[in-house]
Structure 1
Amino acid sequence: MGQEDRPPLFWKFRSSNGFIVFSVCFAIFVDVLLYGCIGEVFPFTLEKRSGVPEDQVQGWLAVLLAVYGLGFSLGSPAFGWLADHYRNRWYPLMAGLVLLLAGTMMLWFGTMVQFLCLARFIQGLATACIWSVGLALVIDTVGSSNAGESLGLLAASMSIGFVGAPSLSGFIYDRFGYDAVFLSMVVMVVFDIVLRILIIEKKDAVKWILQETDPNDPTRPLLPPNPADGPNFDIQIHAHPLITLMSSPRLVTAVFISFVEAIIMTSFETVLPLHTKETFGYTSTLAGLCFALVVFGDFFSTYAGRLSDRIGARPCVVTGLIASGTVVFLCGFATGPSIASQVMLWVLLLGVGLAHCLVFVPTYTEMSLVVEQIEREKPGVFGPYGAFAQSYGLGNFAYAAGTTVGPLWSGFMRHQTGWGPMMFALGVFSILSVIPSYMFLGEPKAKEQGDEEGQSTSRI
């Protein structure tokens, strides 16, 4: 065996499903943690470090959120396209982590508020890259048919970041100061980069698996490894994958549901603290715990993913949207200061989170299945490296758009009409989304029947 064919140390562990999925989960956890920590720290530092007048702090906070969303929106399809033209996910995912490190360092040492806006835009680009490429790497590793459970783990990692960010950043800032917050974030990003360096993608590990397994072993990979002399970057011109993907009603529906879920979740994030403060007299801590009930539902995302893998996305998403619309509508009745009203709201908020995980994970699983469906119908249409990252890029773009629309719409609605009518409108929005979900999600029935007939004919 030549020196170049000798496998690297611990290659089996480094190319295992568990290690790769854990690495992507950690990357998403760190990204979300950074997002949440910034929101907790900067309200206290913009005036001191950047010289922002007190009456302008809220406005600049909104700008910092907006430029982050802009970077997330613009970067999602762009990094998806880039990742699907590389043979390996190594380069684009590493680029995302380097961007995340650069943005964090800029926020740490920057003082001019305009410079901080640039740093937040770079962080948004990093988020787009990590999510689009990371999700595609998971699908490369576990396969679309088993993607639901793994995507559920990613959603749980995101929830841990959302729940942990306020308390962790607040504790570090109060006890150790501003520098300690960012030092801890930089350490986690560096560890994230180390994990990415250690990953060996499945397509690269196949050649060593083939060397060590018996040809008659049923676990032996059926596909040969990619040729070593193949191009590392696909420069051929193909029919534009984004146009091909968006011509599928199934994918358009999945992207739309991602947009809907972002609006629902960010609407609660925007108006729930103020509603609980004015109605129940809650402090910011209690209001944060209320939103934690919404996010807590995502810890059950792995079960939703398993269910989606078993029965398909359509029944999961339809059930989740109906349940979401119902509990969101009922939240509108929690308008009195009584204990019963508060308990009802807590239970309903937990229901919102559970319904969300029943929709979110199957929807993202569907995005990868659409790519496989199109590839079966038009082999080679996406080029040699597929279009998983671009599919997720579209989903992330829609989710980023929803995180922009949700706060603006919910804030305006609550100010103009109040809590109850706003919740009613949000519930109707969720229920109406059931129609396209039922019509278009899932493998087309006609196609399935056609495949079965073709297989029957070929056996005769």
Structure 2
Amino acid sequence: MTLLAFAKTLSIFIIVRLLQGGATAMVAVAGLALATDSFDKDRLGTAVGYLGSPSALDFILGPSPGGLIYTNFGYEAVFVIAAGLVGVDFIFRILLVEKKVMESCWIEADTESSDDDNQHITDNPNECSSANEGGFLLLNLIRQLRILITLWAFRVIGIIFSAFDTTLPIFVESTFHWSPVGAGLVFLPGGFSSLMGPYFGSICNHYGPRAMEFTGFIINVGLPALYVETQAVLDDMECKRPGIKGPKGAISQAFSLQTMAQFIGLFFGPL
């Protein structure tokens, strides 16, 4: 971000944006995986809705104060504010304790039950091999038609949102002669639907993701349903081949595919 603030050549600007995109993708996948570890599966839709709402809302609301600061204080001032936000975010990441770490460090384990489980695994070598089957599952995931459909959906969402992000500020500036503040305010109306993310996610939990996906695509609020659908695919894979997901559930690998698909859309949308 510091390099971006002082970039004076197009090559440096492109390199910095590549670094930003890579970092954003890594953090997005980690955050989604953390949510699945922290919430029960029957609440995953609501959890993802809570995650998606502030994320989408900030992407939409960010241009408004950005345009205001740029108009009144200049280009570099925008990065000063952003640096402060990153600093606060960094502190929260240090303070965060993962659920599995908390359980292993702060909650007393039932040692007797653990010994019984170990004995059970020793007595059943077939189960043991099944439980250790999980690993690099990306190739298995992309063979699932439902996964491919969700990847296509994420790509379409990325294309639509980034296309509007690119063209709307230019349009209002050339048509209505708006300042950067006005161009930023254009994104405000779209932010209100993001506040409904937890509600849309709870609908997915109660009625399943497919109806919400179909309806959501008509009004562009289908993201929680897509994440729930992905979790359902992983659960079905586990039922057919127990242990295939491994001890960590392979959810981060699935989310990495979705993030990649959405970022591909973000790349093609502006073009």
Shorter-chain TM range is: 0.7 to 0.9
C-alpha distance in structure 1 between counterparts of 2:223 and 2:171, whole Å? 26
TM-score, scaled relative to structure 2 = 0.80
Aligned: 1:283 with 2:178: yes
Q: AA paired with 2:252?
A: A
- The alpha carbon displacement at 1:191 in A equals 1.8
Q: AA paired with 1:200?
A: V
Aligned: 1:372 with 2:268: no
Instruction: Work out which of the residue numbers 125, 134, 144 in structure 1 matches 2:41.
Output: 144
Structure 1 counterpart SS, 2:246:
coil
What are the equivalent positions in structure 2 for 1:58-457 lying under 5 Å apart? 104-207=1-104, 210-211=107-108, 240-273=136-169, 281=176, 283=178, 285-286=181-182, 288-321=184-217, 324=218, 355-357=219-221, 359-408=222-271
Alignment check: 8 A CA contact 1:262 1:400 kept: yes
C-alpha distance in structure 1 between counterparts of 2:208 and 2:261, whole Å? 22
C-alpha distance in structure 1 between counterparts of 2:173 and 2:25, whole Å? 34
Report % sequence identity.
30
- Check 1:264–1:375 CA distance in 2 against 1; reply closer, same or farther (3 A cut): same
- The alpha carbon displacement at 1:109 in A equals 4.1
- Check 1:367–1:289 CA distance in 2 against 1; reply closer, same or farther (3 A cut): same
- Check 1:386–1:254 CA distance in 2 against 1; reply closer, same or farther (3 A cut): same
Higher relative contact order (CA 8 A, sep 6+): 2
- Check 1:118–1:148 CA distance in 2 against 1; reply closer, same or farther (3 A cut): same
1:132-177 residue CA offsets vs partner (Å, 9 max, x unmatched): 1111111111133211112112222123322332222233334444
C-alpha distance in structure 2 between counterparts of 1:244 and 1:155, whole Å? 27
TM-score, scaled relative to structure 1 = 0.49
1:166-217 residue CA offsets vs partner (Å, 9 max, x unmatched): 22223333444444322322222122121111111111111456439xx8xx
- The alpha carbon displacement at 1:121 in A equals 1.0
1:89-109 residue CA offsets vs partner (Å, 9 max, x unmatched): xxxxxxxxxxxxxxx122234
Q: AA paired with 2:190?
A: V
C-alpha distance in structure 2 between counterparts of 1:208 and 1:374, whole Å? 31
C-alpha distance in structure 2 between counterparts of 1:111 and 1:174, whole Å? 20
Q: AA paired with 2:189?
A: L
Q: How many residues align?
A: 253
Alignment check: 8 A CA contact 2:162 2:270 kept: yes
Query: RMSD over aligned Cα, in angstroms?
Result: 3.0
C-alpha distance in structure 2 between counterparts of 1:113 and 1:267, whole Å? 21
Match of 1:5 in 2: none
Tell which deviates more after alignment, 301-310 or 168-177: 168-177
Alignment check: 8 A CA contact 1:261 1:399 kept: yes
Alignment check: 8 A CA contact 1:144 1:369 kept: no
- Check 1:185–1:143 CA distance in 2 against 1; reply closer, same or farther (3 A cut): same
Q: AA paired with 2:160?
A: I
Unaligned runs of 5+ in 1: 1-103, 216-221, 228-235, 325-354, 409-460
- Check 1:223–1:112 CA distance in 2 against 1; reply closer, same or farther (3 A cut): farther
- Check 1:179–1:282 CA distance in 2 against 1; reply closer, same or farther (3 A cut): closer
Structure 2 counterpart SS, 1:407:
coil
Match of 2:121 in 1: none
Structure 2 counterpart SS, 1:211:
coil
Q: AA paired with 1:406?
A: G
- The alpha carbon displacement at 1:243 in A equals 0.7
Match of 2:122 in 1: none
C-alpha distance in structure 2 between counterparts of 1:392 and 1:170, whole Å? 32
Alignment check: 8 A CA contact 2:168 2:183 kept: yes
Higher Cα Rg, which structure: 1
Structure 1 counterpart SS, 2:62:
helix
- Check 1:156–1:375 CA distance in 2 against 1; reply closer, same or farther (3 A cut): same
Match of 1:329 in 2: none
